[in-house]
Amino acid sequence: MAEDKIPVLTEVYKPKAGVKAKSTEAAALDVTTDLIAQVTAKVKPRLESEIADFVLDELRAEIKKASNEVITSAKDFVDKTRADLKTELPKMYQESARLSQVDIGNLKKTVLDEASMVVRKEALGFQNKVILEHQKQINEAFANLREELAVEKCMMLNTATAEVKAIFTTQMSEVLGLLKQNIEEMLNKAIPDLENRVRSQLALELQQLLLKVKFTLPDS
């Protein structure tokens, strides 16, 4: 039949197989490159933000942990120092009283200076020990992150370390102030009693000395 020889529309406009395949491949390649660029532009800021949030969360956790340990260590240090002072302070006071010949003003200053020197020495050693321990913990916890993160991330770590030091310095200042107040209170309570003891001892020694002089002098 004549109709069988007339080409249909699909046959007339049917593209060549090679041309269609190349066009499809080119279009897919263009879409993939553009898609990657768009995804990268959207994901990169969010990824950087998530990394920064993760680092900050880890730093806050370490700072909180370090702060709690510092508070606990400081309380233990105060209790130990207070117990030591209760034992050593009377000894120091009696020795100072013997050397200063009951000069109460200088005696109080001498004892307070000696006690403060001991406290400062122990506090300095304690401070260095705690800071080194927590610095080591922080450095170990973020050793891998330092290698992968940019310079600003390292600055965050340095800021966290500075915060730990600032927290410790503030707490140690409060501890030293409390210790000084406790020492002064103990001195104010102990001085009247010790002063009376020293004066009584001096009066007794003077009386004994007068008796010796009386018995050694010839009668007139």
Per-residue pLDDT of 126-143, as tens digits, reads 777 777 776 777 777 666
Domain contains 39: no
6 pLDDT above the threshold of 50 = no
Higher pLDDT pick, 7 / 163: 163
**214/203 Cα distance (integer angstroms):** 16
Domain contains 26: no
Q: Is 138 helix (H, G, I), strand (E, B) or coil?
A: helix
Domain contains 17: no
Q: What is the pLDDT of residue 106?
A: 67
Domain contains 197: no
Number of domains in the chain: 1
Q: What is the pLDDT of residue 213?
A: 62
Residues 6+ apart with CB under 8 A from 100: 106, 107, 110
Domain contains 21: no
Domain contains 9: no
Please give the residue range of the domain that contains residue 82: 63-191
Domain contains 121: yes
Question: Considering all CA atoms of the chain, what is the largest pairwise distance in Å, rounded to the nearest integer?
Answer: 179
Domain contains 137: yes
Predicted model pTM: 0.34
Residues 6+ apart with CB under 8 A from 82: 179, 182
**Percent of the chain surpassing pLDDT 90:** 0
